[in-house]
Amino acid sequence: MLKLSVVLFLLCISTCNGRLFKTLDPVKSYTAQSDQLAAVQDLVKRVLGDRSDEIKISLVPEANYQDFALLQYNDGILTITGNNGIGIAYGLNHYLKYFCRKQLSWAGDQIGNIPKPLPAIPTEGLFLQAGVKYRYYQNVCTVSYSSVWWNWTRWEREIDWMALNGINLPLAFTGQEAIWQRVYKKLGLSQMDLDEHFVGPAFLAWGRMGNLKGFGGPLPDSWKESQLALQHKILNRMRSLGMIPVLPGFAGHVPLAVSKKYPNASISQLGGWANFNCTYSCSSLLEPDDPLFRTIGKMFIEEQIKEYNGTNHIYNADTFNEMIPRSNNVSYLGNASLAVYEAMTAGDPQAVWLMQGWLFHNAPWFWQTPQIKALVTAVPMGRLLLLDLFSEAYPQFERANYYYGQPFIWCMLHDFGGNLGFYGKLEAINNNPRKTLLTVDSTMVGTGITPEGINQNYLVYDLMLEAGFTVQPVNISLWIEEYVRRRYDSDDKFAIATWLEIGSSIYNDTTTGFPAKSLIRGPIVKRPSTVITELPYWYTYSSLESVWDYFSKAMPNLKDIPTVRYDAVDITRQMLQAIHRVLYYAMLQEFEWKNPNTMFTLGELILDLYDDFDRILATDSHFMMGCWIRDARLSAVDPKDRDLFEYNARNQVTLWGPEGEILDYGDKHWASLAKYYYRPRWALFIQRLEYSLITDTPFDPVGFAHDVFSNVEEPFTISKSTYPTTPTENSLEVAMELYHKWRPFLTL
């Protein structure tokens, strides 16, 4: 039996003097241990219900231990000892995954029928310890693409999930507009000034970063207040479990009206962003040497500390996200950086600035070595914590010389826009965090997941979260086998073969960098065009064939449970997306060869495929546009705001901007979206191609773009039609039927 005292002694040797603390002051959660114990006890109850009595938990006295859990088993009772709530919760999840074969995931749980008595663990006990101090979660965009409409029930579930997966550094951005409004009103801005400034709920991420203003608004006060109330619950829960929630800080972006109110303030206009014109995207950035910078930053921090009864001292701010600084002069960049830091410390002397390091990847031509060095070293060592945001594909830490001594977090970004579509870099996430940690000059202090949107590719996140906590590579094949067992509560060899095949092909992108988004989600979601840019895939269609064949053999052997149903939809969705591409290319070929009959037959087949795509998606609420819209409407406190919120919800996943400024960037494979948005676009396209062949006139791409915008895309974003929110057919039955119908076309 592992003795706790021995474990603690060893722990102290390994972490109390560890170099991980060299660069960053430890920032502790200040929740009293007795409260943490009660909070984790409640979590155990939420997860295990009436079986929770069989788990005993305890905490060791506080010290600078790296988070850990010690599991001991005696006579049907599992005892978990940890240094805080996160350690215990991680230990519990590990036990559920590896001894009970259970899974709690974004898209449903497989948690019923835990054996009684509880399965035993090795008699000597089990000791799990985090290999890094911080495990971070969320991209600043995740709140907009995934959690914007969440109520407390959904948030509570997510925070439980974070704790169970060892996350101790989550972004906590909800509700900040209420605080900003107070600050700006104190500075003399009017409600009208602010209504022109704040964006709608679905676009807050970009409003906060200074990329957008006004679009999708005005943001109702009732929303600001209800989100603030939600934030209180979120923060209380995160803190009670021992997490360090990251609050927002001031990055320098101000409402346009500040320059009217303070005509002498030194403000530069930057922007516009993406394809937005100045109306929605020109940004006002306070110059670092303006005294107002410090005033606003300080007020904002102080207002939050007052509102939230304290702080955990880590704040996120991004001044130059997808925005090129007005000068590359290193003295200017250092000043810009110092201004953010000093405005934070003016409000909280212990502040640590967390920066999303997207800018270095996004504009490498601007951020050369001297510029990076100036930006990061202007802040005292250990007071700037960088997220190396896209480490699995484009790590920046090497070129940035390990941030010249500033600590950083190795993050997997993986997803853009919350798009669906299978993708993974399993080998990189399995091996590279450890490699980076062990590099001599490395200042890595954590791992993170920073997807723009969640609810996709759960296997990939599951692996990253484990690899992140333990920072130990696993045997991926063996790991996938266990993943399948816990997801399906089954040893079915075809189910295992399905995911081993996915794991070694579509989830095994070992090429450098990251593929074009269009390869991940397929042309099925795109505005059709006669111009194809053929890019190389990192996997073959023959592996997709194997995947589908294996899964079709697995389905009859699997239980009809949520995780199985979800994957039946997910795999079928992926196959239809792949077939769509084949049919599309074939149709264009026939068009080029001027064969109207074959072209039209293929066109009909494509439209038929859209019907089936919609049909399979409509069997699971995780894939239904109706639910996204319903939740948007429900989140409006005042019924008069519901239509505006619905517009936000519809626009973000389609046009993304009033005129398709980032057309289809946030697309989803969702029922109703397929039926009323994607399909009509393709129907119009096919009609135009056919017309062109019959009349022997060229296809007019400009006319088509115009027509598809005004006949399909824009009407969809302003429509108020209601869509189904409850599944009708059985996922497994439909998946099987569509396998038989469409499988021959995968090889076409």
Ligand X SMILES: *[C@@H]1O[C@H](CO)[C@@H](O)[C@H](O)[C@H]1NC(C)=O
Interaction site with ligand X (CB under 6 A): 151, 153-154, 263-264, 277-279, 289, 309-310, 329, 331-332, 335, 426-427, 475-478, 503-504, 508, 510, 631, 658-659
Residues recorded for the chain: 748
| Cβ nearer to ligand X, comparing 492 with 590 | 492
The nearest distance, CB 476 to ligand X, in angstroms, is 4
Distance CA 417, CA 655 (A): 13
Distance CA 267, CA 357 (A): 24
Helices vs strands, H then E, count in the chain = 30, 17
| Cβ nearer to ligand X, comparing 479 with 610 | 479
| Cβ nearer to ligand X, comparing 309 with 711 | 309
3-class SS string, 408-458:
EEEEECCCCCCCCCCCCEHHHHHHHHHHHHHCCCCCEEEEEECCCCCCCCH
The nearest distance, CB 672 to ligand X, in angstroms, is 16
| Cβ nearer to ligand X, comparing 25 with 289 | 289
| Cβ nearer to ligand X, comparing 309 with 589 | 309
Q: What residue is closest to ligand X based on CB?
A: 504
The nearest distance, CB 261 to ligand X, in angstroms, is 8
DSSP 8-state assignment for residue 246: B
Residue that has been written with the tokens 């769509």 in this structure:
580
| Cβ nearer to ligand X, comparing 210 with 334 | 334
The nearest distance, CB 432 to ligand X, in angstroms, is 14
Q: Which of 56, 308, 275 is nearest to 179 (CA)?
A: 308
Find the distance separating the first CA and the last CA of the chain, reported in whole Å: 60
The nearest distance, CB 51 to ligand X, in angstroms, is 24
Q: Using the CB atoms, write b or e for 234-263: b if 16+ within 10 Å.
A: bbbbbbbbbbbbbbbbbbbbbbbbbbebbe
The nearest distance, CB 551 to ligand X, in angstroms, is 18
Which structure tokens are listed for 425?
Answer: 């870099």
| Cβ nearer to ligand X, comparing 549 with 631 | 631
| Cβ nearer to ligand X, comparing 329 with 439 | 329
Which structure tokens are listed for 395?
Answer: 């790590």
The nearest distance, CB 277 to ligand X, in angstroms, is 4
The nearest distance, CB 541 to ligand X, in angstroms, is 17
The nearest distance, CB 309 to ligand X, in angstroms, is 4
User: Quick check: helix, strand or coil at residue 514?
Assistant: coil
| Cβ nearer to ligand X, comparing 572 with 652 | 652
Residue that has been written with the tokens 């202090």 in this structure:
445
The nearest distance, CB 436 to ligand X, in angstroms, is 19
Rg (CA), the chain: 26
The nearest distance, CB 478 to ligand X, in angstroms, is 5
Strands 108-110 and 103-105: antiparallel
Give CA angle at 722 (721, 723), nearest 5°.
120
| Cβ nearer to ligand X, comparing 295 with 601 | 295
Q: Which of 206, 231, 229, 226 is nearest to 216 (CA)?
A: 206
Distance CA 548, CA 530 (A): 29
Please name the amino acid found at residue 343.
A
Strands 444-449 and 134-137: parallel
Distance CA 570, CA 613 (A): 11
The nearest distance, CB 604 to ligand X, in angstroms, is 36
Contact call for residues 72 and 78 (beta carbons, < 8 A): yes
The nearest distance, CB 263 to ligand X, in angstroms, is 6
Residues 6+ apart with CB under 8 A from 548: 571, 575, 739, 743, 746
Which structure tokens are listed for 421?
Answer: 């579509």
User: Quick check: helix, strand or coil at residue 341?
Assistant: helix
Contact call for residues 168 and 86 (beta carbons, < 8 A): yes
| Cβ nearer to ligand X, comparing 659 with 729 | 659
DSSP 8-state assignment for residue 133: S
Q: What are the DSSP calls for 644-696, one per residue?
A: HHHHHHHHHTTTSSTT-TTTTTT----BTHIIIIIHHHHHHHHHHHHHHHHHT
